[in-house]
Amino acid sequence: MGDYGAGFRNWGETRVNRAHPIRAGKNGLVSSPEDPPRLLLIEDEPKLVDMLSTLLVDEGYEVDTATDGQRGLHLGLTRRYDVVVLDRGLPAVEGLDLLIRLRSRGVTVPTLVLSALGNPADRVAGLDAGAEDYLAKPFDIDELLARLRALRRRHLDTARVLPLPGGALDLDTRQATMGSEAPVRLSERECALLATLAGRPSRVFTRTDLQVLVFDDAGQDVIETYVHYLRRKLGRGVVDTVRGRGYQLGRGK
């Protein structure tokens, strides 16, 4: 496909597929095998946004876009993504500052920085800020797509098992193992709730957060019921209640 300059010349000749609306995966953290991967594109150059959105949708991604850092930060904190493509020179919030804020809030989504700042010091700054990969502009489209595929493969190798206080949650089998105890099988909703909390262990989730991410077809009253189920199966310390705010992954015991 050539570099992104050539892409600008050709993107208008390709039918533009609108990005799909963002949906939470069934486990609330990463896409299940049958779900399309979800990608957040944070870039302020309109032509590049249009071109990349088209290519990424054609590649099989569900794409959400943000054209300034403030919007990108909001989406990164409130939505679930499998990968983020992030520009540095953004309005409102600079790209690396945005990434540092996401990481400080426990958002671990794999991130590729795509920037015109491409000297070694710039790349080191991006990686030190929490990016998993860094690609300088102008870039080759095929290389970008290959890097995103590799980034997702590396992430999926580890993201299917999440650490718990004193144990681990296997998202494929929906089994939680606590210490030396035998694995405990969870229901789909129990697993989705626990995966959501374990995916961002430092974050306190409000009832509204959990209703949107896990229980979108039920009322908020059901959240307390499922917290009770998890505590009964795995111990009271697996989920903490933060009075007046919501729920957080527990510290065990």
Question: Which pLDDT score is estimated for 14?
Answer: 28
> Measured between alpha carbons, how far is 149 from 165 in angstroms, rounded to an integer?
31
25 and 126 housed in the same domain? yes
> Measured between alpha carbons, how far is 74 from 23 in angstroms, rounded to an integer?
16
229 and 190 housed in the same domain? yes
Neighbours of 187 (CB within 10 A): 13
Question: Which pLDDT score is estimated for 20?
Answer: 35
145 and 169 housed in the same domain? no
CATH value at residue 121: 3.40.50.2300
Question: Which pLDDT score is estimated for 30?
Answer: 44
What are 196's two structure tokens?
């959501």
Question: Which pLDDT score is estimated for 35?
Answer: 64
81 and 21 housed in the same domain? yes
58 and 78 housed in the same domain? yes
174 and 131 housed in the same domain? no
> Measured between alpha carbons, how far is 118 from 136 in angstroms, rounded to an integer?
5
- pTM beyond 0.95: the answer is no
Instruction: Identify the domain containing residue 244 by its residue range.
Output: 161-249
Q: What is the largest CA-CA distance in the chain?
A: 60
> Measured between alpha carbons, how far is 170 from 72 in angstroms, rounded to an integer?
30
> Measured between alpha carbons, how far is 164 from 245 in angstroms, rounded to an integer?
21
151 and 101 housed in the same domain? yes
Domain-terminating residue out of 125, 140, 159: 159
Residue 11 CB contacts under 8 Å (≥ 6 apart), including other chains: 47, 50, 51, 54
Residues of the chain with pLDDT under 50: 1-3, 5-34
185 and 232 housed in the same domain? yes
> Measured between alpha carbons, how far is 5 from 116 in angstroms, rounded to an integer?
13
Helix, strand, coil percentages in the chain from 3-state DSSP, rounded to 5:
40, 20, 40
